[in-house]
Every structure is written in structure tokens, then in C-alpha cells.
Amino acid sequence: MSFLYPSFLFGLLAVSVPIAIHLFNFRRTRRVFFSNVALLKTVQTETKSFRRLKHWLILAARCLFLACLVLAFAQPFIPSKNKIGLSRQGVTSLYVDNSYSMQNERNTKRYLDIAIGRLDELLTLFRNATSLQLLTNDFSAAEQQAGSAEAIRDRVTSIRFAHTPRTLESVYKRQRNLLSSLSPSGGNQLFWFSDFQKSTAGDLSRLQIDTTDRLFLVPLDAQATKNVYVDSVWLSTPFIREMQNNSLNVKLSNGGREEVRNLPIRLYLDDTQTSTASATIAPGGSATVSLNFNVTSKGYHRGRIVFEDYPITFDNQYFFVIEASPAVRVMHVYEQRANTDYINTVFSNDSLFVRRSFNAQNFDVGQLKETDLVVLEGVSQVNGTLRTELERFVRQGGSLAIIPPPTPDISNYNPFLSALGVAGVQSSGAAGSSPTLLPLAEPDRRNPFFRDVFQQTYQSDPLNLPSAAPVWRWSGGDRLLSLRDGNPLLSQARAGQGYVYLLANPLATQYGNLAEHALFVPVMYKMAALSVRPQRTAYSFDESLISLPISNPSERAVYKLKRDKLEIIPVQRLVGNQLLLEMPKSNELATGQEVESGYYELQLNNGPGAGKTERLLAFNHGNQESAMDFYSADELRRAFANQPNVEVFDSIQDGDFVQVLEQENLGRSLWKYFLMGALAFLLIEVALVRFMKG
């Protein structure tokens, strides 16, 4: 038998008090005089030996009463047979997983509620402890303090779901920070109440528990039920236009082991339902649905994908933002151009395009920051700053279309084009007053570049194609148009994040009729359309770094994210016209702040124009917790098989959870029996005094 509080055993010295009273009778005899002895009650006589026996029995009852009472306060117990055991002394750290996956239910009761209920029962084993720590996924400052069982019980009632999943390794490091400061010598115990979701638990093989710590894993025996979530959302075209049919693609995934059939999917734009579809998703599989919509105005529109999927509901909505009719900014830089300004004619007929023209001699390269497509026409040489900035422009995502002059400087263009993925440029010898025209070959209509260029009804009909006289030829890039002699007329090359389009002939009429042909307009439109960066419809809080394009950024500008009354100023830096934001984690936010899925306005926080909304963004929580795959108790035992100080407990669903835990790890507590013994001996003493006559 062992004692939890052995210092109380000093109270056994109190047994000497009744012994002293019985051995030394401190009462003095007083003589009482009566006037008439006839009024005295007849006294029943008793023998000396009977009186002595009675006194000894009373003494024994009193001594045993005090002894049992002292032992009850010392809390004796029979030690457990478990090697690692459990101690109610030292520091006890309690971790409750409050991630969104704990919304899962068992018998209509959420996992988080089950874990909190069992934790409340566990606190009864530590009711007299003063070094208890409660940890959740919030990782708040208040959780770094130790407190009593009652203080922990009060905090348990305020646990809410947190959007930030934590790996088990980060949880243990967080607990060790407190344990190392409060009890550096070790001898502490840690409890983890969790569903042990595989997608968020991390690599268990790397998790090494200090041998001085005792870790008790309490899995919730979670079941992999069905759960549908949105994997991604994207537009079918680079940009959308008002009053036209547009298409939105939604990829849905099933993170559970049950098939989902005919799940209704609803699309909301600006809080109005605009389209519906249904999806059937196999267990662990995915499906893509297309939703058609149209918008009646330009600018940003708030979108939502909504479906009903229980019991996991945190991922039943997906927020996104689309921008209708964003202006495509085209810059025409020329030196020698055709008599007819074909570029101006093409892009001036549609309000979608914003076109500007500059002579190459007085062109300000700083304006490239506000351009999507640069058409370089008739420039004989590309040198110095112009060359450097054009290379940077393309690599950062811009598109460059090069239309050669009648006599291009091949030696100057070769290193420039080679750096952009077009090699082997050489003169074709067609420059002169009467160049030889060659017909175009039939374009490959299966090329993605020509998607939506040719009408469906004319897919198999021969085309009336133009003729052209090339002034140079090259290798490299993907051919879009070719001449019948096998040489390229128009090619597309990828350079960094942008595209380079190279045309073989000038637009002057003596070099062909391509600029006057019906094919020229859709080809130039396609270049402009592909120059627009694909719209990023939504972002995730799990992304550590977010890149956003900014128009005319100031070097000292500071931006903030605003949603209703919440304002966040992330760590940020400007690189060219790209704003890089480091999204804060939940424990990095101020008290009372909480990030939720929804729409956020990117606003300028300082300087002229402060408070102006630069753009509208949509943020969602990551989909790690949407995968319904969990570690079982047996899998956890195998993962920690080489660490004897880790025990996996698998009876959290039992009603006698605390009792089983106490018997297996604390041993059998005996203080209740000693308390009952103290009361019994007290009653025996009363009975001896009252009823033992003789």
C-alpha cells in the first residue's frame, strides 16, 4: 500500500491525545454534600474489571477513529501493475483536439462534446492538484499557464472549434515548453483527447516522447463516414463578360468511405442562387461539375458553392470571387509600321481592350507594369533598358508579340529571343521590294490556342487561307501557324510565367495579306485573352504566402485585410507590382480576433487613398480536415511500440472510463474505506458510552 499524500501521516501523533487522557485521569474528585440522602437515585454498581474493559474499548475506538481519519487524508492506494503508471502529483498537461473534424458524431453526440465530458470526469482524479495545463489547437497565451482542477474545469466550458489543425509533434513541443519550466526534473503526465486524423496528425515516426514523461493517448475511435468538400473552383475562360453565358468548374472530393449519390450543388452569386447541378462521388474519389451563369455588371462578384452534407458541416460552403470584364491592357510599341494601323483597328473595336501606342524612341518602360500584352512592331533592334525590361515583363507573366521590320537585325534579336525560348533565328532572304509570297498551311484545329476560334459547323470545311512572305525563320516554341514549305509563320513560346509570340512577316501588304484576312482578328484576340492572368477565385488560410498583383504600388504602402469589424495587417512586402502577404495563424492574432471563411477587402492602410479597396478576396479554410481517415487504437500502439512510456487507451466510449483508467494506472484508491472505517469507529465509541452498562 502506498500513500498519495504521505505527509498527512504525521497526524497519527494525534492518537497520543486520547491515550494520555485515558492513562492519566486529570479530573479531580469533588465532595458533594446532600441534606437528604433519601432523594439520591439508586446507583447500579459495577465491578472494577468491567469498568476497565469498557475504558479500554472506548480508548481503542477513539484511537482507531483518529488513525482511519488520518489515513483517509493521506489517500492510501494499492499501486497499479502498469509499468508507467499515473501520478496525481507533478504537472499534468491535458490536450483537447478542437479541430473541425471533431464535428463528427457518434450516437448524435459530437466528438468534441464526448472528449470534453471525459476530460471533466478525469479532473476528478486530480481534484487536489494545482499544476494542471489545458491545451487546445488555439495555442493561446492563457494555455501556457498551470492552474487547479476547478480553473481547468471552468476553461473547458469555453472550448470552441478552431480552424487551425495542429500536428501531434507541434502539440507535444507546446506542452514541453510549460513542463520544462514548471517541472524540469520530469515525472509528468500528458493526456491527448483527439480523433487522431491522419491528414493532420503528421509523421508519427518522428515523434519521440521524453522518457521522463508519461503520455496517455485517448482516441475517440472515429469512423470514416462520408464527407464532401470543394477541392477547387476555376473558370472555363480566362475572363468573363457581362450579359454572356459563362461556365464555372467545381471539383468535389469525397473524404469518407461511403458513396455520395446525386448530391445537389448550388451556385450563389451576390447572394442569389443562379445555377444548380448534382454530383455522384465514389468513396475517396472526386467529380467535377460545371455551373453556367451570367452577370449583368462589371467588377467583382461574390460567389458561393453550397451543399448539404452531414455531420461534417464546416466545409459545406466554399467562397470565391470573380471579376467580370477585367480590362485587357494592350501596349503597341512600334518603329516601322504598316501604312494601315492594323493593331489599332483590331483592339479599338471592343471596349474590353485598353490600347495605348508609343514610338519605341520615346517609350517609358515603367508603363510595362500596367500592361498585359505588348505588341512590338517593326523595331529593328532591341537594346539596353528596353530589352532588360521586356525580358522581366515576360518572365513575370506578361505576353509579348513580336512583328518584325522588313530588315530585322538578326544578330541583335538572336540573344534576345534565345533568352525567351526562341532559338536559331536567321534571315530568310525575303526582304526587298518584291518578296515571294507563300500560302499558309491548314492550322491544327485541335491546338488549344484555336479553341473557340473556328465555328463548330465549319470544323471540317477547308479554309480560305492568306499568303505571307517571311523575313526570318527560327526553331523553338510551339507552332500555331505554318507555311506550306514547312517554315513557321507564328509560334508561341513559354518564358517564365509569360508567353512570346513571334510572327515571320511584317504587316505591310507586300509581305502578305494576313493582317487583312479574317483569321488575323481572332488570332490577335486570342493572344490578348491568354495574356490575362487566370483569375485566382479563392485563397486558403493554410497558404503561408499569397501573391497579389497591385496597380501603381507605392514603396511605402501598407495594406490590410478587412472583413466587417475585423482588420488584419499581415506581414507583407512589395516585389515590383506583386504584393506578397504572409497570412497570420490563429495564435498570432490579437485577443478577440478570429479569421473565418468569407470575403475580405484588400485596402490601403496609409498614405493618400487610405481605406480604398484595391480588390476583393475570398478565403476558405484548408481541406486537410475534410479527409475522414483516422488512426485506430491498434495503429497508434504500433506507431509507439518502441516507446514504453506511451499508453493508448481505447475505452473512452465506456461509461466507467475514469474508473478503468484509475484502476489500470493509479491503482485502487482506499481512502473511501478508511473514511467509512473512521465513521464506524466513531459510532462504536458512541455505542460503548451509551449502551455498555454494568
pLDDT, tens digit, for every residue of 666-676? 556 787 888 89
Query: How does residue 687 score in pLDDT terms, banded at 50, 70 and 90?
Result: confident
What are the CA-CA distances from residue 616 to residues 15, 131, 299, 532 (Å)? Answer: 79, 47, 10, 18
Burial group, residue 515, by CB count within 10 angstroms (0-12, 13-18, 19+): buried
Q: Round to whole Å and give the CA distance between 17 and 212.
A: 44
Peptide bond between residue 522 and the one before it cis (omega within 30 degrees of 0): no
The parent domain of residue 611 ranges over: 539-620
What are the CA-CA distances from residue 379 to residues 333, 404, 415, 643 (Å)? Answer: 8, 7, 15, 72
Query: How many other β-carbons are positioned within 10 Å of the β-carbon of residue 519?
Result: 18
Taking alpha carbons only, the member of 502, 506, 482 closest to residue 494 is 502
310 within domain boundaries: no
Whether residues 608 and 683 fall in one domain? no
What are the CA-CA distances from residue 359 to residues 91, 331, 366 (Å)? Answer: 76, 11, 15
Q: Round to whole Å and give the CA distance between 344 and 356.
A: 9
379 within domain boundaries: yes
Q: Round to whole Å and give the CA distance between 459 and 447.
A: 13
Number of helical (H) and strand (E) elements in the chain, helices listed first = 13, 36
Whether residues 597 and 454 fall in one domain? no
Whether residues 344 and 474 fall in one domain? yes
Q: Round to whole Å and give the CA distance between 286 and 255.
A: 9
Whether residues 374 and 481 fall in one domain? yes
DSSP per-residue letters across 281-320: E-TT-EEEEEEEE--SSSEEEEEEEE---SS--TTSEEEE
Partnered with residue 331 across adjacent β-strands are: 356, 374
* pLDDT reading at 368 higher than 90: no
Query: How many other β-carbons are positioned within 10 Å of the β-carbon of residue 412?
Result: 15
Taking alpha carbons only, the member of 227, 250, 376 closest to residue 311 is 227
CA 532 to chain centre: 29
Lowest pLDDT segment from 187-196, 203-212, 235-244 = 235-244
Q: Helix (H, G, I), strand (E, B), or coil: what is residue 619?
A: strand
Share of the chain above pLDDT 70, in %: 88
pLDDT at 457: 42
Whether the Cβ atoms of residue 503 and residue 469 lie closer than 8 Å to each other: no
Whether residues 480 and 497 fall in one domain? yes
What the block records as the C-alpha cell of 658 is 475514469
The angle that helices 48-74 and 671-691 make with each other, rounded to 10 degrees, is: 160
pLDDT at 84: 46
Whether residues 474 and 396 fall in one domain? yes
- Residue 43 is given by DSSP the state P
Q: Helix (H, G, I), strand (E, B), or coil: what is residue 486?
A: coil
Mean pLDDT to the nearest integer, 536-545:
88
Domain end, chosen from 509, 531, 553, is at 531
Domain end, chosen from 470, 505, 531, is at 531
What is the phi-psi region of residue 221: left when phi exceeds 0, alpha when psi lies from -120 to 50, beta otherwise? left
Taking alpha carbons only, the member of 553, 588, 555, 554 closest to residue 571 is 588
- Domain holding 650: CATH number? 3.40.50.410
Whether the Cβ atoms of residue 179 and residue 213 lie closer than 8 Å to each other: yes
424 within domain boundaries: yes
Whether residues 377 and 513 fall in one domain? yes
Query: How does residue 327 score in pLDDT terms, banded at 50, 70 and 90?
Result: confident
68 within domain boundaries: yes
281 within domain boundaries: no
Taking alpha carbons only, the member of 613, 612, 545, 605 closest to residue 578 is 545
Taking alpha carbons only, the member of 508, 464, 465, 471 closest to residue 487 is 471
Whether residues 111 and 43 fall in one domain? no
Hey, CA dihedral for 357, 359, 360, 364, is it positive or negative?
negative
Mean pLDDT to the nearest integer, 197-213:
89
Q: Round to whole Å and give the CA distance between 508 and 405.
A: 9
pLDDT at 81: 58
pTM over 0.85, yes/no: no
Whether residues 526 and 396 fall in one domain? yes
173 within domain boundaries: yes
Query: How many other β-carbons are positioned within 10 Å of the β-carbon of residue 259?
Result: 13
276 within domain boundaries: no
What the block records as the C-alpha cell of 558 is 501598407
234 within domain boundaries: no
What are the CA-CA distances from residue 566 to residues 15, 100, 601, 621 (Å)? Answer: 67, 22, 11, 17
- The pLDDT tens digits for 493-518 are 999 889 999 999 999 988 999 999 98
pLDDT at 10: 85
- Domain holding 512: CATH number? 3.40.50.880
Cα radius of gyration (the chain): 41
Q: How many CA atoms lie within 13 A of 427 on its CB side?
A: 14
pLDDT at 461: 56
- The pLDDT tens digits for 288-314 are 999 999 998 888 999 999 999 887 888
Q: Round to whole Å and give the CA distance between 327 and 347.
A: 12
Residue given cell 469512423 in the structure block: 223
Q: Helix (H, G, I), strand (E, B), or coil: what is residue 127?
A: coil
Taking alpha carbons only, the member of 410, 464, 100, 135 closest to residue 255 is 100
Residue given cell 497570420 in the structure block: 584
Q: Which ranges in 561-670 belong to alpha helices (H)?
A: 633-639, 657-661
Q: Round to whole Å and give the CA distance between 367 and 358.
A: 11
Our count of domains for the chain comes to: 4
* pLDDT reading at 479 higher than 70: yes
Parallel, antiparallel, or unpaired: how do β-strands 613-620 and 539-540 relate?
Answer: parallel
Partnered with residue 478 across adjacent β-strands are: 492
Whether residues 408 and 482 fall in one domain? yes
Q: Round to whole Å and give the CA distance between 57 and 608.
A: 96
Q: Round to whole Å and give the CA distance between 375 and 402.
A: 6
Angle at 583 between CA 580 and CA 589, to 5 degrees: 140
What the block records as the C-alpha cell of 245 is 453565358
Whether residues 452 and 600 fall in one domain? no
Q: Helix (H, G, I), strand (E, B), or coil: what is residue 622?
A: coil
Domain end, chosen from 486, 506, 531, is at 531
Whether the Cβ atoms of residue 489 and residue 503 lie closer than 8 Å to each other: yes
Query: How does residue 126 score in pLDDT terms, banded at 50, 70 and 90?
Result: confident
- Domain holding 551: CATH number? 2.60.40
Q: Round to whole Å and give the CA distance between 414 and 476.
A: 12
- The pLDDT tens digits for 26-62 are 555 566 666 666 555 555 555 667 777 888 888 888 8
Whether residues 63 and 148 fall in one domain? no
Mean pLDDT to the nearest integer, 155-176:
88
